[in-house]
Amino acid sequence: MLLGETMATVARRNAAGRDAGPGEATAAALVPSRPSLPRLREAAAGCRACPLWERGTQTVFGEGAARSDVLLVGEQPGDKEDLAGKPFVGPAGQLLDRALEAAGIDRRRTYVTNVVKHFKWEPRGKRRIHKKPDAREIRACLPWLAAEIAAVQPEIVVCLGATAAQALLGGSFRVTRDRGRLVASPLAPRTLATVHPASILRMPDEASRQAELSRFIDDLAAAARALG
């Protein structure tokens, strides 16, 4: 499977039991035939579809309301998330919480998850530094994400960052070009992409961070308006 293929393709292959790669077949085989979020979370804890489980502390599955209007998808768990076993609990998650509140979206009524369910990192002294997941690792995790979206049935999917946007909407999608704009997709009635909150934290100065945070809130507000 090419990274640019959409989640609809993944879902069709899962349903038919025809996955392209060995990693995908492993993950798809673990997805329960009648998946609920608790059953998916339990099954994903034992996933070995790619090598990331060997260095991650645990699988970090999605979390939130079982029927959420808004499903937010990031790239992968970070250091704090890996230790806690929950998505978006570190600095980027705290910024996301503030931005959602400012945009008029109740975090408690959302579902948050990541494309990749294990923390990919490299050592730097005593620190574990985020390393971008590759196409194989993303591909191996897509059956879990497809199952999460199918279980939650959100009104709008919000892709946080380029990795999530391209995994879900295709390799040609560009967040820099299409951020904050509702786009057609088979994922949900509405789909929108914006930056990952971690990218805001990496801005070089406070003025840049505030300007980018304002744009981020505007993007999330567009999702809120789409929900009416």
149 touches 157 (CB < 8 A): yes
Residue 8 predicted with pLDDT over 60? no
7 touches 138 (CB < 8 A): no
- Residues whose CB falls within 8 Å of the CB of residue 56, separated by 6 or more in sequence, listed in order: 77, 82, 118, 119, 120
Greater model confidence, 1 or 126? 126
Instruction: Tell me what pLDDT residue 29 has.
Output: 87
SS3 32: coil
Instruction: Tell me what pLDDT residue 14 has.
Output: 44
pLDDT in tens, 119-144: 999 999 999 999 999 999 999 999 99
Other beta carbons less than 10 A from residue 34's beta carbon: 5
Band of the pLDDT at 228, cuts 50, 70, 90?
Answer: confident
CA angle 91, 199, 165 (to 5 degrees): 110
Domain 7-226 has CATH 3.40.470.10: yes
